[in-house]
Amino acid sequence: MTASDHAVDRSTPAGLRATWIAAMAARDAEALRPLLSDDYEVWANAAAPLCGVDAAIAAMRAALERYHVEQSFEPVETVVAGDWAFERGLERMKVTPVDGGATQTVTQRALLILRRGPDGQWQFARGMTNGLPPEKPSASSP
């Protein structure tokens, strides 16, 4: 069963996020398409911008062919103003190569801009991620 087989609830920003996370867990890049606005753009940390739905889906498909991705998002702030919303928080990903290998865990800051369409459903319109600063060594470290 793919993520697109499940009932989709995009009536709230949290529902949109949950639908995204389910599609990623199911490794179903195509299920991400209705979650993105036509003019979607994301600036991922240390990567070239992804502009447009097709570019984003192609990038996610390529990633999901190579990796199992467990993703979560811890919102720090959610602001809804009419048909626009923004969320800032921490995105966490556990990424495991499909062909075997060590799992990597990535935590980064994320800023998400969402737009509610005429159908009342939210979509991601913009996104930006930024790496966390390096941890400071403890006082007992040499």
Here the CATH number for the domain that contains residue 111 is 3.10.450.50
Q: What is the pLDDT of residue 6?
A: 46
**Which candidate, 113, 52, 38, 99, places its Cα nearest to that of 60?**
52
Whether 139 is in a domain gets the answer: no
Domain that holds residue 89: 3-131
Q: What is the pLDDT of residue 9?
A: 76
* pLDDT digits 0-9 by tens, 68-90: 999 999 999 999 999 999 999 99
Question: For the chain, first and last CA: distance in Å?
Answer: 52
Number of domains composing the chain: 1
**Which candidate, 63, 3, 8, 50, places its Cα nearest to that of 30?**
3
Q: What tokens appear for 76 in the block?
A: 């720090």
Q: What is the pLDDT of residue 2?
A: 45
pLDDT tier, 66 (very low <50, low <70, confident <90, very high otherwise): very high
Mean pLDDT of 36-49: 94
pLDDT tier, 136 (very low <50, low <70, confident <90, very high otherwise): confident
Q: What is the pLDDT of residue 3?
A: 44
Q: Which residues contact 56 (CB under 8 A, 6 or more apart)?
A: 32, 36, 40, 42, 50
Q: What is the pLDDT of residue 58?
A: 97
Q: What is the pLDDT of residue 140?
A: 64
> Which segments of the chain does DSSP mark as H helices, in order?
13-25, 53-66
pLDDT tier, 4 (very low <50, low <70, confident <90, very high otherwise): very low
**Which candidate, 12, 3, 7, 68, places its Cα nearest to that of 33?**
3
How many other C-beta atoms lie within 10 A of the C-beta of residue 110?
22
pLDDT of 24 above 80 = yes
Whether 108 is in a domain gets the answer: yes
Whether 88 is in a domain gets the answer: yes
Phi, psi dihedral angles at 8 (to 5 degrees): -105, 125
